[in-house]
């Protein structure tokens, strides 16, 4: 049985795309820039919010200064609206409850900024104890740099062999690979299965229940994806 499961947040535990899209479009609109369809944001997120803003800005406008202007409009708005439409994916609350009951340690490794990462986890999973909830932190490289995984392994004292890393994007699969832990890609998130397949993770799953199998403690929920 695995001793630790590390989860990505956006696209893995929570479907946050509608709130991210709405908040980025709000910031773009305030600054007089064109906005984007919600679906296009699936390919803009995953590398932290500054990268999201760079991708959302028009060609020729992607300066550091403009990124910071978008950020200034985005953060206060997103802080209020980040739980408007975001929801856990089917089977995720049951999976977390089950893993917790089995004594498996849980952690979150996200590229979302730290305050929002903590808020969303506390809001949507109040009964789950996470050993660590890490988002984008000052002075720490974002994923796919393995720093966040190493920090979690240090806190939990769990070896790489006993760790499963679960995420929905190439960034996540690369993070797991860089950290030397077992990767599981999930297909219900923001990126297509082909992106995961190209990274050759140990596992790809369409179903939250299967993560319990990979962790070594299978169960059957009523909420299969």
- Catalytic residue list: 8
Residues shown for the chain: 225
Strand-pair category, 87-88 with 4-7: unpaired
| CA 51 – CA 53 distance, rounded (Å) | 5
Tell me the torsion sign for CA atoms 114, 120, 122, 125.
negative
| CA 90 – CA 223 distance, rounded (Å) | 6
| CA 84 – CA 87 distance, rounded (Å) | 9
Tell me the torsion sign for CA atoms 81, 83, 89, 90.
negative
Mark 151-171 as b/e (b = at least 16 C-beta within 10 Å). Answer: bbbeebebeeebbbbbbbbbb
Strand-pair category, 105-113 with 132-136: parallel
């Amino acid at each position: 049985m695995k001793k630790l499961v590390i989860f990505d947040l956006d696209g893995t535990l929570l479907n946050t795309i509608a709130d991210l899209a709405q908040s980025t479009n709000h910031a773009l609109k305030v600054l007089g820039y064109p906005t984007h369809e919600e679906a296009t944001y699936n390919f803009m997120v995953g590398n932290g919010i500054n990268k999201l803003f760079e991708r959302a800005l028009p060609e020729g406008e992607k300066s550091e200064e403009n990124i910071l202007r978008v950020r200034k409009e985005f953060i206060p708005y997103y802080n209020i609206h980040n739980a408007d439409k975001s929801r856990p994916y089917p089977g995720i609350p049951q999976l977390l409850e089950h893993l917790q009951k089995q004594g498996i340690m849980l952690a979150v490794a996200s590229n979302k900024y730290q305050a929002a990462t903590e808020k969303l986890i506390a809001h949507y999973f109040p009964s789950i104890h996470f050993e660590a909830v890490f988002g984008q932190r000052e002075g720490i490289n974002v994923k796919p740099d393995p720093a966040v995984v190493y920090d979690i392994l240090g806190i939990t004292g769990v070896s790489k062999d006993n760790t499963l890393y679960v995420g929905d994007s190439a960034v996540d699969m690369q993070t797991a690979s860089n950290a030397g832990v077992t990767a599981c890609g999930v297909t219900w998130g923001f990126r297509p299965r082909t992106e995961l397949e190209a990274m050759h993770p140990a596992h790809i799953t369409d179903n939250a229940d299967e993560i319990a199998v990979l962790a070594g403690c299978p169960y059957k929920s009523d909420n299969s994806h």
